[in-house]
Chains A and B, each alone.
Chain A
Amino acid sequence: MQGLTRYKLIFLLPGLLILLGIILFPLIFTVRVSFSGWDAIRPGLDWIGGTNYGRLFADGRFWQSLSRLGAIAFTSVVLEYLLGFGLALLVWRQVKFRRITRVLFLIPMMTTPVVMAVIWRTIFHESLGPANDLAGMLGLGTIPWLTHSAWATVVVILVDVWQWTPFMFLLLLAGLLSLPKEPFLAAAIDGAGPIRTFFNVTFPAMAPISVGALIIRLIEASKIMETVYVITSGGPGTSTETSSYYIFIRGLRDFQIGYAAALSVTYLVIMIVLLTIIAKILTKTLVKPGA
Chain B
Amino acid sequence: MGYAIQSLNVHINDEPHLIDINLELPNSGVVTIIGRTLAGKTTLLKVLAGLQEVSSGALMKNKKDLLNVPAWERRVGMVYQQFVNYPHLSVRENIVFPLRRAKLNATAIKEKLDYVSELLGLEEYLERNPSELSGGQQQRVALARSLVKDTDLLLLDEPLVNLDYKLREQLREEFRRLFKDSTDRLVVYATTEPAEAMILQGQVVVLHEGRVVQVGECSDVFHFPATTISAQVFNDPPMNLVDGEIADGRICIAESLHVDLPEHLGKLKPGKYTFGIRAMDVVLERDGANAPIILSEVNGSSTIVHLDLSGRSLVLETEGVHHFGETGDVHFSLDASRLYVFSDVEGELVVAPPRKSVLGEKGKQNGQN
A contact set with B: CB distance below 8 Å? 1-4
- Could you list 14 A-B pairs, sorted by A, with CB under 8 Å? A1-B50, A1-B52, A1-B53, A1-B54, A1-B67, A1-B70, A2-B67, A2-B68, A2-B70, A3-B68, A3-B70, A3-B73, A4-B53, A4-B70
List A contacts of B50 (CB < 8 A): 1
Which residue of chain A has its CB nearest to the CB of B72?
A: A3
List B contacts of A2 (CB < 8 A): 67-68, 70
Give Cα A270–Cα B203 distance, bound, in whole angstroms: 66
A284: min CB distance to chain B, Å: 28
Interface residues of B in 38-72 (CB under 8 A from A): 50, 52-54, 67-68, 70
How many contacts between A and B, using CB within 8 angstroms? 14
Give Cα A95–Cα B257 distance, bound, in whole angstroms: 71
Give Cα A4–Cα B70 distance, bound, in whole angstroms: 8
Give Cα A4–Cα B72 distance, bound, in whole angstroms: 11
B contact set with A: CB distance below 8 Å? 50, 52-54, 67-68, 70, 73
List B contacts of A1 (CB < 8 A): 50, 52-54, 67, 70
Give Cα A2–Cα B71 distance, bound, in whole angstroms: 10
Give Cα A188–Cα B67 distance, bound, in whole angstroms: 59
B54: min CB distance to chain A, Å: 8
Beyond A1-B54, A2-B68, 12 extra complex contacts between A and B, CB < 8 Å: A1-B50, A1-B52, A1-B53, A1-B67, A1-B70, A2-B67, A2-B70, A3-B68, A3-B70, A3-B73, A4-B53, A4-B70
Best-surrounded residue of A1, A2, A4 (most CB of chain B within 10 A): A1
List A contacts of B54 (CB < 8 A): 1
List A contacts of B53 (CB < 8 A): 1, 4
B60: min CB distance to chain A, Å: 15
List A contacts of B68 (CB < 8 A): 2-3
B58: min CB distance to chain A, Å: 13
Give Cα A12–Cα B53 distance, bound, in whole angstroms: 19
List A contacts of B70 (CB < 8 A): 1-4
Which residue of chain A has its CB nearest to the CB of B73?
A: A3
Which residue of chain B has its CB nearest to the CB of A4?
A: B70
Give Cα A3–Cα B53 distance, bound, in whole angstroms: 11
Give Cα A157–Cα B53 distance, bound, in whole angstroms: 54
A130: min CB distance to chain B, Å: 52
Which residue of chain B has its CB nearest to the CB of A6?
A: B70
B56: min CB distance to chain A, Å: 13
Give Cα A4–Cα B54 distance, bound, in whole angstroms: 13
List A contacts of B73 (CB < 8 A): 3
Which residue of chain A has its CB nearest to the CB of B50?
A: A1
Give Cα A195–Cα B68 distance, bound, in whole angstroms: 63
Which residue of chain B has its CB nearest to the CB of A7?
A: B70
B137: min CB distance to chain A, Å: 31
Which residue of chain B has its CB nearest to the CB of A1?
A: B53
A176: min CB distance to chain B, Å: 28
A62: min CB distance to chain B, Å: 46
A3: min CB distance to chain B, Å: 4
List B contacts of A4 (CB < 8 A): 53, 70
Give Cα A231–Cα B73 distance, bound, in whole angstroms: 63
A10: min CB distance to chain B, Å: 14
Give Cα A1–Cα B52 distance, bound, in whole angstroms: 7
Give Cα A3–Cα B71 distance, bound, in whole angstroms: 9
List A contacts of B67 (CB < 8 A): 1-2
B59: min CB distance to chain A, Å: 11
Which residue of chain A has its CB nearest to the CB of B51?
A: A1
Give Cα A4–Cα B53 distance, bound, in whole angstroms: 10
Which residue of chain A has its CB nearest to the CB of B47?
A: A1
Which residue of chain B has its CB nearest to the CB of A2?
A: B68
> Closest 3 interchain pairs by CB?
A3-B70, A1-B53, A2-B68
Which residue of chain A has its CB nearest to the CB of B69?
A: A3
B355: min CB distance to chain A, Å: 44
